[in-house]
């Protein structure tokens, strides 16, 4: 049986607006995220990487209130400053103090971390999940890896810092530990993860590696990793193919094939006001993630992760509104019960091109998902077209 459609499927269910009961954990089948009450939790996140040290407490509160109004229920931030001016000049930070004395991660500056305390406590009070990167390694010698590698005992120091950090903040239920920081696993980052895990196994733990492959693939067999993070942009973004950018749906399809026993989220993708990203790009990557089996996705804006200059203007750009609408849609469907239609069983025609390569193409690919009992399905069309749907697939 065939029917031609020109619109987005929307199936309305009752959405829960209750306070999330942290900490977040994996569902029993390890396919999605739930809170402590067993309520499915989709991370609708915003990247605010420099928030703990780039703006004042009052500005943090203003920013978080705005993000909540736009349906964001999670943020991702880093604690160790990522660029030289922030590392060596306390005058660039409202707190007026460096994170560490002598650039030694085992010499934390209490004044700095008191400010971090207040920021994280505020996030918890506001019921916002925090994907927390305590030690940003850096993609391009802009983090702490090169500093740490100058230590005689870098691995030991990282393991000790992981223990110290976890002991200080494990009481906050809204956290998810984030290891690495734009860098593939190295002995130092693995040691840090081991340090955290030796103190706390209650919170989820994931990793932030180079784009192109998920953290589950980068860190195979690491027991402390309990949440996989996808990280990619799109094939046509860069002329340099060394990074091997694939579409969001491609990376998540490859994740499914590996059958890792943990949920996956889209931790990072294209940012608004960077690299010719359009609002359609932002929408595509969020919907592609949802319809490809992810349990969350993070929106990013250049000015909101850098938090420099007139960053407040970035709050009014269209990307945030698109993500607000996106999450309204998430709340109308039983997303946690739905499975991605990788076999293409829902389509007769009009699905578009699945691009598994690092080369341009596949922007029109329509993702779809359905419940196992074949009573509900949804299709995301990134471009306007007619599609043929196999109605015999439904009850």
Burial of 313 by CB count in 10 Å (0-12 exposed, 13-18 middle, 19+ buried)? Answer: exposed
CA distance 324 to 279: 13
Residues 231, 254: Cα–Cα separation, whole Å: 12
Give me the domains of the chain, ranges plus CATH numbers.
20-330 (3.20.20.80)
**Distance between CA 63 and CA 47 in Å, rounded?**
12
Neighbours of 326 (CB within 10 A): 19
Q: How far apart are CA 98 and CA 90, in angstroms?
A: 5
- The pTM score is 0.93
* pLDDT tens by residue, 71-121: 999 999 999 998 766 766 777 788 888 999 999 999 999 999 999 999 999
Taking only the tens place, the pLDDT of each residue in 290-334 is 999 999 999 999 999 999 899 999 999 999 999 999 999 999 999
Confidence grade of residue 384 (pLDDT, cut at 50, 70, 90): very high
């Amino acid at each position: 049986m065939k029917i031609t459609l020109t619109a987005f499927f929307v199936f309305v269910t009752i959405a829960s607006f209750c306070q999330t009961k942290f900490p977040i954990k994996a569902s029993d089948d390890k396919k999605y995220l739930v809170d402590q009450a067993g309520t499915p939790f989709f991370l609708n996140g915003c990247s605010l990487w420099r928030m703990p040290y780039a703006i004042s407490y009052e500005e943090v509160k203003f920013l978080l209130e705005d993000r909540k109004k736009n349906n964001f229920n999670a943020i991702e931030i880093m604690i160790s400053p990522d660029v030289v001016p922030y590392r060596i000049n306390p005058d660039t930070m409202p707190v007026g103090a460096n994170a560490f004395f002598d650039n030694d991660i085992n010499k934390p500056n209490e004044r700095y971390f008191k400010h971090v305390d207040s920021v994280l406590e505020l996030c918890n009070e506001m019921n916002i999940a925090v994907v927390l990167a305590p030690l940003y390694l850096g993609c391009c010698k802009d983090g702490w890896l090169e500093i740490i590698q100058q230590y005689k005992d870098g691995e030991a120091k990282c393991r000790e810092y992981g223990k110290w950090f976890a002991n200080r903040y494990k009481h906050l239920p809204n956290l998810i530990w984030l290891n690495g920081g734009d860098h593939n696993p190295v002995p130092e980052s693995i040691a840090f993860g081991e340090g955290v895990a030796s103190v706390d196994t209650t919170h989820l733990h994931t990793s932030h590696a180079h784009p192109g492959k998920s953290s589950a693939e980068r860190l195979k067999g690491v027991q402390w990793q309990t949440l996989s993070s996808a990280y990619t942009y799109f094939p046509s973004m860069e002329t340099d193919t060394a990074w091997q950018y694939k579409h969001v749906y491609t990376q998540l399809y490859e994740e499914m094939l590996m059958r890792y026993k943990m949920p996956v989220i889209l931790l990072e993708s294209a940012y608004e006001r960077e690299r010719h990203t359009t609002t359609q790009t932002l929408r595509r990557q969020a919907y592609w993630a949802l319809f490809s089996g992810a349990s969350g996705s993070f929106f990013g804006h250049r000015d909101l992760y850098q938090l420099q200059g007139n960053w407040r203007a970035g709050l009014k750009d269209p990307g945030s509104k698109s993500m607000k609408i996106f999450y309204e849609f998430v709340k109308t469907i039983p997303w946690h019960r739905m499975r991605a239609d990788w076999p293409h069983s829902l389509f007769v025609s009009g699905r578009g091109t699945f691009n598994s390569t690092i080369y341009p193409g596949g922007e029109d690919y329509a993702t779809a998902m359905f419940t196992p009992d074949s009573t509900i399905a949804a299709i995301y069309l990134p471009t306007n077209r007619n599609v043929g749907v196999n109605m015999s697939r439904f009850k």
